[in-house]
């Protein structure tokens, strides 16, 4: 019996180290799994995001009390928007370079604006939709006719509605695609007939989260 007990004790002593080694290996596997989850390309909601955007503007104007529409024009712009996250809501503002104008009989006239929108938005997944006011400061006008300008006022005020997606490609960087519509409230004409801006925009660019 003593010989059997001694043999059993020796067997348990020899077999103990492999079992003792097994626990750290399991812990290491769990840590590796957590690391992979942390490095996922789906980012957490960053407190602040900056978007650098190019814009394609399809603008027109509403004329007079009846709100008749003039022929529109196409221009390219761009800008930077910064958003503050209050999940699932966010506030967004920045600077956008846009062009408002009209066309008639093959001719066109326009005013370049530097706009400041202030939007309150709701987020659902990678998508968001927002609404808010904007103010635009005139930077100068142009016309397809030589030595003529459109004669608009230098300030435009209105409402902007915007919706789109910010699709993550890394933990901080995303690809942005959005649609926006601007409804001008201010009369931007210097003439007797009122003119109010209308502008449809496609915004494409990238975002970076901080």
- In sequence order, the β-bridge partners of residue 119 are 92
Task: Render each residue's pLDDT in the chain as its tens digit; 210 residues.
Answer: 554 455 545 455 555 554 444 444 445 554 554 444 444 444 557 899 999 999 999 998 888 766 666 677 888 999 999 999 999 999 999 999 998 877 666 667 788 999 999 999 999 999 999 999 999 998 877 766 555 555 666 789 999 999 999 999 998 999 999 999 999 999 888 777 888 889 999 999 999 999
pTM of the prediction? 0.74
Helix (H) or strand (E) holding 131: strand 127-143
- In angstroms, the Cα distances linking 138 to 27, 113, 153, 205 are 63, 5, 7, 24
Return the CA Rg of the chain.
30
Separation of alpha carbons 102 and 196, rounded Å: 11
pLDDT value of residue 194:
83
Structure tokens at 34: 């957590």
pLDDT value of residue 154:
74
pLDDT value of residue 20:
46
User: Could you identify the residue written with the tokens 């590796």?
Assistant: 32
The distance from CA 137 to its chain's CA centroid, rounded to whole angstroms, is 22
| Among 48, 72, 70, residue whose Cα is nearest residue 59 | 72
Separation of alpha carbons 155 and 160, rounded Å: 15
| Residues in the chain, overall count | 210
Backbone torsion region of residue 98, taken as left when φ is above 0, otherwise alpha when ψ lies between -120 and 50, otherwise beta: beta
């Amino acid at each position: 019996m003593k010989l059997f007990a001694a043999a059993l004790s020796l067997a348990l002593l020899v077999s103990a180290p492999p079992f003792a080694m097994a626990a750290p290996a399991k812990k290491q596997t769990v840590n590796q799994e957590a690391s992979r989850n942390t490095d996922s390309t789906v980012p957490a909601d960053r407190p602040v995001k900056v978007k650098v955007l190019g814009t394609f503007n399809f603008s027109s104007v509403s004329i007079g009390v009846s709100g008749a529409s003039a022929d529109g024009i196409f221009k390219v712009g761009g800008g930077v928007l910064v958003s503050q996250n209050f999940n699932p809501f966010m506030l967004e503002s920045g600077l956008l370079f846009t062009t408002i104008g009209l066309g008639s009989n093959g001719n066109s006239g326009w005013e370049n604006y530097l706009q400041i929108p202030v939007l309150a938005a709701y987020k659902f997944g990678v998508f968001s939709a927002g609404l808010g006011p904007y103010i635009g400061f005139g930077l100068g006008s142009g016309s397809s006719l030589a030595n003529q300008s459109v004669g608009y006022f230098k300030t435009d005020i209105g409402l902007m509605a915007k919706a789109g997606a910010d699709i993550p490609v890394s933990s901080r960087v995303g690809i942005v695609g959005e649609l926006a519509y601007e409804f001008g409230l201010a009369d931007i004409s210097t003439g007797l007939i009122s003119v109010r801006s209308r502008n449809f925009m496609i915004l494409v660019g990238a975002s970076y989260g901080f």
